[in-house]
Amino acid sequence: MDMPASLRSPRLRFGRMSCWVSPPDARVLIVNNDVGMYHAINAAVLHSIEEGIASSCSLMVPCPWALHAMHLLRQRPEISFGIHLTLFCDTTHYRWGPLTAKEKVPSLLDGAGELFTPAKVPELLAQARLDQVELEFRAQVNTVLFNKRGTRLVHPGKSTSRQDRMPSSGRPAIAAMMSFGNGHRPWRSQRRDQFA
């Protein structure tokens, strides 16, 4: 596949093989996402932070290993993390549910009473009620606050910081964060600023 001329950088050739060379000002962003999903993810992400490869992570609170992740983060208060607010289960073979009682958030559940999988997100979007989305997001934030006292929440997952540009589906995240005195503010540190 050919790269558009506007994005083209030098290409190295090795016989019949070739690869693109990054421009000298290129940066790599390592996103330590999905902490809490599996024990191995928790261990790998914390190891990458401790080794200086990454500097923060995001926690998926409804996942099976989230309590373990919160325990590890509580032991390492210097690690910045955000809450990856989630309304669906990333896998079909290793399921998790909402933190809110299922009878209080039926619009977030599929026909079997489970969180939707990625393939069925359009169905979730078609039926999800914003009041139930906000209820579940609040439960996820409350769980972190309860399990990691003194936490300053740094970002609500993947949303924009400008509320006036945010789609209506993102407003429950902001409402949940604002009620805890934590507006959406991106995490900042000297290490992060060097990549700005």
Candidate ranges 11-15, 126-130, 148-152, 170-174; pick with highest mean pLDDT: 126-130
- Are 139 and 115 spatial neighbours (Cβ–Cβ below 8 Å)? no
Confidence of residue 179 (pLDDT cuts 50, 70, 90): low
Confidence of residue 27 (pLDDT cuts 50, 70, 90): confident
Measured CA to CA, the distance from residue 88 to residue 85 in angstroms comes to 10
Domain membership of residue 20 (yes or no) is no
How many structural domains compose the chain? 1
pLDDT digits (tens, 9 = 90+) for 93-124: 888 999 999 999 999 999 999 999 999 999 99
The pLDDT of residue 87 is 93
Residue 130, pLDDT > 90, answer yes
Question: Whole-model pTM?
Answer: 0.68
Measured CA to CA, the distance from residue 149 to residue 151 in angstroms comes to 5
The pLDDT of residue 163 is 35
Residue 21, pLDDT > 80, answer no
Domain membership of residue 13 (yes or no) is no
The pLDDT of residue 55 is 86
Q: Which two tokens stand for residue 115?
A: 């969180």
pLDDT digits (tens, 9 = 90+) for 64-92: 999 999 999 999 988 888 899 999 998 88
Domain membership of residue 87 (yes or no) is yes
Domain membership of residue 190 (yes or no) is no
Domain membership of residue 113 (yes or no) is yes
Please tell me what DSSP assigns to residue 51: T
Domain membership of residue 6 (yes or no) is no
pLDDT digits (tens, 9 = 90+) for 34-71: 899 999 999 999 999 999 888 889 999 999 999 999 99
CATH number of the domain that residue 149 is part of: 3.20.20.370
- Are 41 and 33 spatial neighbours (Cβ–Cβ below 8 Å)? no
Query: Mean pLDDT score of the chain, rounded to an integer?
Result: 75
Structural domain boundaries, residue 72: 29-184
Domain membership of residue 189 (yes or no) is no
Q: What percent of the chain has pLDDT over 90?
A: 44
Confidence of residue 174 (pLDDT cuts 50, 70, 90): low
The pLDDT of residue 147 is 77
Q: Which two tokens stand for residue 111?
A: 């026909």
Using the Cα atoms of residue 185, residue 191, residue 195 and residue 196 in order, give the sign of their dihedral: positive
**Angle, to 10 degrees, between the axis of helix 39-50 and the axis of helix 66-75?**
20
